[in-house]
Amino acid sequence: MRISTKGRYAIKLMLDLAIYYDGESIKIKDIAKRQQISEKYLEQIVATLHKASFVLSSRGAKGGYKLSRPPEAYTVGMILRTMEGSLSSADCVGAGGVECENKDRCVTVKIWEKLDEAVDTVLEGIKLSDLVDWQNELVDQYII
């Protein structure tokens, strides 16, 4: 039931883009420094997010990345699914899964269906903007 570093780092990356946006593109180098993640690894991760059109890029000096939409438009689930592919708990359930020919006679699939639904509800219920809000609350708490 683990979420990989790819998924977790992608969320940190997107959150960083949301929080530190000031009109300018944000460099991977800076995100890597702030989030304590390898620059090269982040490059790979942002490439996937770029392919999914979650971020806009500009190349060359003064280049970097921006969110392509407002933070309310992303859910944690969207980001994780983009990075991890399917999030389903077993192959026999969920999109793109290997259909089991015994599926409608197997009661254990009900477990995975219920589980996946619960996971989905949580992950689709948290928006990137919620993370930004939580972060701001934390800052209020610690700095002030």
Partner DNA sequence: ACAAAACCTATTAGAATAGTAGGAATACAA
Partner DNA sequence: TTGTATTCCTACTATTCTAATAGGTTTTGT
**Going residue by residue from 2 to 21, which x/- string records binding to DNA, judged by CB under 7 A?**
x-xxx---------------
- Minimum Å gap between C-beta 25 and its own copies is 23
- Minimum Å gap between C-beta 29 and DNA is 5
84 pairs with which residues across the strands?
A: none
Nearer of residues 52 and 123 to its own copies, judged by Cβ: 123
Applying CB under 8 A, among 61, 95, 98, 107 the residue interacting with its own copies is 107
**Going residue by residue from 87 to 116, which x/- string records binding to DNA, judged by CB under 7 A?**
------------------------------
35 touches DNA by CB under 7 A: no
Applying CB under 8 A, among 23, 126, 127, 144 the residue interacting with its own copies is 126
